[in-house]
C-alpha cells in the first residue's frame, strides 16, 4: 500500500489571541502614532526652539528638516493605519515598512525628545510583531480577521 501524497486536510496553526488583537491594535496605534508624529512635525516646523540638542550629536540635522520628516511619516502612518483597519491586505506590508522607518527616525530623534522617541520605538516594534501575524489572520480565507482556526475547520468539508 502506497502512502498518500495528495492534498489532505491542511493543518492550520493555532492563532494567538495576542496576534488577533494585535492586528487591530496595530491599526489603531499606527493612526495614533501618525497623529503624534504629525504633531511633533508641526512643532518642529513652526517652533525651532522647542527641541534642544547638545553640541556633540553625530546626526545633527536641522530641526525644521526633522519636522518635515516627522510630518510626512505621520501622515503616511495615519493613512496606512486606516487602510489596515479597512482590511486591505497590502497595507500590512506597507505598515511594517513604515513602522520600521518610524523606529529608525525616532532612534535618530532620541537626543531631541528622548522619552517620546523610546516609547514610539517600543510601540513600533510591537506593531511590527503584530503585523507579521497578518497572513495567519487575513490570509486564512474569506472570513478575514474574524475567523479562527476552529471556524475555518468547521466550514471545511472533510
Q: What is the mean pLDDT of each run of 10 residues along the chain (158 residues)?
A: 56 58 84 92 85 70 86 96 87 93 90 87 90 60 44 46
Q: State the first-to-last Cα distance of the chain, in angstroms, to the nearest integer.
A: 22
pLDDT at 61: 76
- The size of the chain, in residues, is 158
Cα(59)–Cα(77) distance, rounded to whole angstroms? 23
> Which of 101, 85, 98 is closest to 134 using CA atoms?
85
Count CB neighbours of 54 within 10 A. Answer: 7
Q: With 0.95 as the threshold, say if the pTM is over it.
A: no
Cα(23)–Cα(6) distance, rounded to whole angstroms? 34
Amino acid at each position: 500500500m502506497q502512502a498518500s501524497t495528495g492534498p489532505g486536510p491542511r493543518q492550520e496553526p493555532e492563532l494567538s489571541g495576542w496576534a488577533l488583537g494585535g492586528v487591530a491594535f496595530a491599526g489603531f496605534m499606527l493612526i495614533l502614532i501618525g497623529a503624534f508624529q504629525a504633531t511633533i512635525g508641526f512643532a518642529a516646523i513652526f517652533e525651532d526652539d522647542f527641541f534642544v540638542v547638545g553640541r556633540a550629536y553625530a546626526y545633527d540635522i536641522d530641526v525644521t528638516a526633522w519636522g518635515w520628516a516627522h510630518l510626512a511619516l505621520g501622515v503616511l502612518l495615519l493613512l496606512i493605519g486606516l487602510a489596515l483597519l479597512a482590511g486591505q491586505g497590502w497595507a500590512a506590508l506597507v505598515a511594517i515598512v513604515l513602522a520600521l522607518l518610524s523606529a529608525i527616525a525616532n532612534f535618530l530623534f532620541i537626543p531631541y525628545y528622548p522619552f517620546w522617541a523610546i516609547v514610539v520605538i517600543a510601540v513600533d516594534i510591537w506593531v511590527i510583531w503584530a503585523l507579521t501575524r497578518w497572513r495567519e489572520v487575513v490570509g486564512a480565507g474569506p472570513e478575514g480577521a474574524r475567523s479562527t482556526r476552529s471556524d475555518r475547520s468547521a466550514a471545511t468539508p472533510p
